Amino acid sequence: MEQIKVPGGETVFQKPLENGLMVVVLPRKQFLRTYAVLSVNYGSLDYKFRVPGGEVVEVPPGIAHFLEHKLFEEEEGSVFDRFAAWGGSVNAFTSYNQTSYLFSTIDNWRESLTYLVEFVNRPHLTEENVEKEKGIIEQELQMYADHPDHRIHSALLQNLYHEHPVRLDIGGTVESVRQITVDELFRCYHTFYQPSNMVLVVVGDVDPKETYELVQKSYPQLPGEGGPVERLDPQEPQSVVRPWSEEELPISRPRYMLGFKHDPISKGEELVRMQIAMSLGFKLISGRSSKAYAELYEERLIDDFFYASFGAHSRYAMSVFSSETDNPEALHAKLTDIINGLKGGRVEAGEVERLKKQYVGLYLGSFDSFEYTANRLVSQYFDGTPYYRYLELLEQVTAENVQSALEDLLDWERSSVAILRPVHSHG
């Protein structure tokens, strides 16, 4: 198996099975817990694609999330019951780009790992259980629609994006879910759930060779499409749909969210560098020890939940600032001044160097989390992001790089604000 040294002195072992599945193992000696995640390079964005052979397939939005739900169902009983009987817990999530199935256990890790591989590769889909699931997912979507955090984020994405599927809920819409058929579910499953389009990461007190051989022995031989899938994203205009939107919801205080739309950022080292530069820049605004945060807090324009985030991928990228606030207009005006000040040259080298030292400690400390480490290894495989070189790349980022990133990406022409206000009582 290939061995890669990671910061902190640990060694990651990896090797693909003959069928193309990449198996990645990070041994953690004398730890009781084992955590594993089996991830598919397939998410909510992938509802229009060209399969090997040239045919273009378009399916209803939300189908990746629907499949994730259905794989937990067996002909008799449920996957959750099986893991619980072994003393473990199992879960899954769907994002824009991937679907991941995971478990955590102290005992019976071999049985759990074998079964993880087994149930993900054995879909039980019938007309009856698919129809039943539609009702469950519709309820889930309607529940989220009334949640303030979900509502404002959804409004912001609708403001920013004309065509790109990132503007749609990961679960789809009530209408799109109703359209999903058993045939479409199987089509997507056999197209994307190919071993060569997946990665398995195991973290715990396990032997890499034994783990690899266990997976190799238990991985089923299944027919599939074979070959790479071309994902077909629509042409997205540079402009935003609208620069400002407001809605009312039964909440106690107004919520404010500012978003910037960026061009997609390519994979690999460039993506990690930009993540570091933007993260450092945003710490100068939202970090609890920053001057900007102190000003906003003293003027009572933000609360403890104020945050700034940068999300980037080879298919989309955006920045978001958010807070509850009694005065959204005043917060927007002040935040605009702060961002323009940093873009205009107020990124201090001393502050950036201080933050970089903090990041070294945070990065090394993050390896204590099995989940965070495993999911980073998944991203490293799918996006070609060399996180094992993170500290080296962090050291190279300068205050000038941070300022340049803020100047390039925080373009007011490509920004939008979404506001949620409390429902006014009429009468």
Catalytic residue among 68, 133, 236, 351: 68
Catalytic site includes residue 68? yes
Cα–Cα distances (Å) from 325 to 15, 257, 274, 285, 322, in that order, read 50, 10, 29, 16, 9
Q: Beta-carbon neighbour count of residue 336 at 10 Å?
A: 13
Q: Which residues contact residue 261 at a Cβ distance below 8 angstroms, ignoring those fewer than 6 apart?
A: 160, 161, 240, 317, 318, 414, 415, 416
Token pair of 23, please? Answer: 């198996």
Closest CA to 238 of 415, 91, 77: 415
Length of the chain: 427
Question: End-to-end distance of the chain based on CA atoms, in angstroms?
Answer: 72
Closest CA to 171 of 204, 114, 133: 133
* Contact present, 260 and 285 (Cβ < 8 Å): no
Q: Beta-carbon neighbour count of residue 422 at 10 Å?
A: 13
- CA–CA separation, 352 and 397 (whole Å): 9
- Residue 48 phi/psi, 5-degree rounding, is -135, 125
Element (H, E) at 281: helix 269-286
- CA–CA separation, 385 and 408 (whole Å): 21
- CA–CA separation, 273 and 319 (whole Å): 15
Cα angle 87-66-182, degrees, rounded to a multiple of 5: 115
**What is the gyration radius of the CA atoms in the chain, in angstroms?**
23
* Contact present, 414 and 259 (Cβ < 8 Å): no
Give the residue numbers marked as catalytic. Answer: 68
